[in-house]
Amino acid sequence: MKNPTITPLPDPSGFSPDPLTDVLRSGARELIQQAVEAELSALLAAHAGERTEDGRARIVRHGHLPEREVMTGIGPVPVKVPRIRDRGDGAEKIRFTSSILPPYLRKAKSIEELLPWLYLKGISTGDFQEALAALLGPNAAGLSSTTISRLKAVWWEEYERWQCRDLGARRIVYIWADGVYFRPRMAEEKQCVLVLIGADEWGRKEVLGLTDGYRESTQSWRELLLDLKRRGLTHVPDLAVGDGALGFWTALREVFGTTREQRCWVHKTGNVLNAMPKSVQPKAKGHLHDIWQAETRAEAEAAFDFFVETYGVKYDKAVAKLVKDRDVLLAFYDFPAEHWKHIRTSNPIESTFATVRHRTGKTRGCLSRKTGLAMAFRLMMSAQSKWRKLDGANRLPEIIQGIAFEGNRPI
């Protein structure tokens, strides 16, 4: 028998059938069902000894709730949550609520994290349905422009609650600060989002503060730092990392006067090279790297002197930008060597906000000040959940005790 020569036409829905995705979706359904059943079994076991007055088990299974679909990264997955019946006569009934499938869950958290990224990449609210259908399939229901608008309102409420949280239990060792600029609307002045990230005594990084301010003024930074202090951040951080913006450093000295300062080497390298001819920049950049990548402070000091001697005569303005911050550029050498790669730059903030800095004109035209701040908050919360602890976290208690370091050795 000859093989058929007719080529099947593509699915008119625009979403090609994928057997592998079907298998993954089926497997996901089974795994979710098993996990929910395990939760129910734990609840039944915890109350297995409880009986009614006539001797029957108080808690028994009672079918399932109606099946619903949860939108995931591999498309909609149908799920069913079991129910229980409490036969007891007590006023407080025992109920089963799955932590995996809460009562009103309709979208996996990964989908909610996808939305602000799409928004900042240039997808307008009206185009979300089409964009998500391409990613998740034609059945990506419940993600219309109205839903997106509701989600943005929810994100703003979450941001306002987050702004009021208590910080009294925190002992912050390092902080990173930066001001991120973007334009809410074409006709408005650029919006500046002030961001502070902290690392605690366990090496865990978290967003401490995020608000918008007037440029990077001293007053805006002062308000943010004082607000953190008012909410319980009373322990003075040991080291602050940031670029050369004078507003932050002035405010820091007023609010946390004993915190040491470390200038960001990425920003400083860019500032120095911008004052030099392009033909010289590649070689000069290598010599700058020799400074902050040196194995010891002595080697860094020698590389610093070499740069000044090599370029000081012809490019005195560029060298002056470097020399004026010598002490605060090399401050990281007084901390454990395991931490150097973390505290030489403000990279945790820069990398997270790369998408904000490079949004398309389409997004700029529709992003309000309030929405921009809510999106920045969602981006930071999404990124924070994936941050790794600092290397050499066991050294942090020594810093808190005031022990000085030379390389990786206490002195």
Does this model's pTM top 0.75? My answer is no
Q: Given this model, what pLDDT does residue 49 score?
A: 84
What is the spatial distance between Cα 390 and Cα 201, in angstroms, rounded to a whole number? 10
- 64-70 — which CB contacts under 8 Å span 24+ positions? 68/106, 69/106, 69/139, 69/141, 70/101, 70/105, 70/106, 70/107, 70/108
pLDDT score for 362: 41
Contact 331, 264 (CB under 8 A): no
- How many Å apart are CA 311 and CA 316, to the nearest integer? 7
CB-based burial label for 24 (10 Å; 0-12, 13-18, 19+): middle
Task: Give the pLDDT of residue 360.
Answer: 33
In order of 52, 55, 205, the CA distances from 44 in angstroms are: 15, 16, 39
Longest dimension (CA), the chain: 98
Count other Cβ atoms within 10 Å, centred on residue 35: 13
Contact partners, residue 223, CB within 8 Å, separation at least 6: 211, 213
At 359 the pLDDT is 42
**DSSP annotation string for 283-350:** HHHHHHHHHHT-SSHHHHHHHHHHHHHHHTTT-HHHHHHHHTTHHHHSGGGGS-GGGHHHHSS-HHHH
pLDDT tens string, the chain, 411 residues long: the values are: 555 555 444 444 444 455 655 665 666 667 667 777 888 888 888 888 888 888 888 888 888 888 877 766 556 778 788 888 888 776 678 888 877 666 766 665 555 555 665 555 555 555 555 555 544 555 555 455 665 677 678 788 889 999 999 999 889 999 999 887 765 543 355 667 899 999 999 999 999 999 887 777 899 999 999 999 999 998 999 999 998 887 899 999 999 999 999 999 999 999 999 999 999 999 999 999 999 999 999 999 999 999 999 999 999 999 999 999 999 999 999 999 999 999 999 887 776 666 555 443 444 444 577 777 887 787 788 778 778 899 999 999 989 988 877 766 777
